[in-house]
Amino acid sequence: MKYKACDMLWEPDVKLMQKSGVKVVRVAEFARSRLEPSEGDYQFGWLDKAMDLFH
């Protein structure tokens, strides 16, 4: 799977959120085109990767 340049910022961003005590975040709010790049073709791998960083 190909990742966009902004994906490289997830790990340091998550670490900063955890360090500063952030407890709730919204993700993929405006990501419809990445979640379903074409009708019926759902791509959740990139979102799974992002969510795994919060554990």
Determine the pLDDT at residue 44. Answer: 93
The predicted-structure confidence for 6-55, as pLDDT tens digits, reads as follows 777 889 999 999 999 999 999 898 999 999 999 999 999 989 988 999 88
Determine the pLDDT at residue 8. Answer: 77
Determine the pLDDT at residue 24. Answer: 94
Nearest to 12 by CA among 24, 3, 20: 20
Distance from C-alpha of 52 to C-alpha of 30, rounded to nearest angstrom: 19
Determine the pLDDT at residue 22. Answer: 96
